[in-house]
Amino acid sequence: MHRSRITGARRLSALLTVSTFALTGCSLWQSHPTADTAAPPPMPLPTTSTPPPPPPRPYELGLDGVSACSLLSTSQRNQLGFDRDPMPDSEAGFGNAATCSYRNTTAKVGARLALITTEGMGVWTDDTAQVEATHVMVGEFPALVIKTPGLNLSCNVAVDVAEGQHLDVLYRDDGAQPPSPVDQLCAGAQRVAEDAVATLADPGTSETRTQTSQPG
């Protein structure tokens, strides 16, 4: 009885093996094009293009010691529709970068300025950045409009203000119905960035630097 079970198992194994070869052979035979079947056209080779490098910045606008909430004046905030007091904070993901947030409760949009002093604008275009970046100019400075695929409720503009530093402006939907289109959010981010850079570049602005106590 034991021997018959082994023999039966061997036969079943052999049958499955033969069936597998038969199916494989049939599949391979059917995969060859016949005289009446045209071979599929070759797949086109993917085309790649490297975007041109951004133009050089005209001069340095270092962010060290700058107060993030001083980059938009009261007049600028009014023109942009920000009707809530600025809220200072920090961004842990960029070395505790100083940030300032603004809200427009009528249009239901918000903005956040971040003064990144640990990395240049190139962080948005390196191999690990999974974003869509488009070169633009903000004032005289090269910048990027940054969209994140799958996220349509915010847009960033990064401005190359100094070596190893950049100004990051996040402009986001804040509950509008219907939500603002992403291109409209990008346009808003660019307007905020232009005002912030204008304030940063104005040598007559005395409130952009944080007040530091002098030793007695």
Phi-psi region of 150 (alpha: psi -120 to 50; beta: other; left: phi over 0): left
What mean pLDDT do residues 114-140 have?
92
What mean pLDDT do residues 113-119 have?
96
For residue 18, the SS3 value is helix
Give the model's pLDDT for residue 12. 33
2 in any annotated domain: no
148 in any annotated domain: yes
Give the model's pLDDT for residue 43. 57
- The total number of residues shown for the chain amounts to 216
Q: Residue 22 — very low, low, confident or very high, per pLDDT cuts 50/70/90?
A: very low
User: Which residues, including other chains, have CB under 8 Å from residue 143's CB and lie 6 or more apart?
Assistant: 54, 121, 135, 136, 137, 157, 158, 159, 160, 190, 193
Q: Which domain holds residue 160?
A: 68-203
63 in any annotated domain: no
What mean pLDDT do residues 180-201 have?
96
Domain count, the chain: 1
Give the model's pLDDT for residue 191. 97
Is pLDDT larger for residue 93 or for residue 174?
174
170 in any annotated domain: yes
Res. 25: pLDDT tops 50: no
Give the model's pLDDT for residue 65. 92
Res. 28: pLDDT tops 60: no
Give the model's pLDDT for residue 154. 95
> Tokens in use for 208?
């952009």
Q: Residue 204 — very low, low, confident or very high, per pLDDT cuts 50/70/90?
A: low
171 in any annotated domain: yes
Give the model's pLDDT for residue 41. 62
Q: What CATH number is associated with residue 74?
A: 3.40.1000
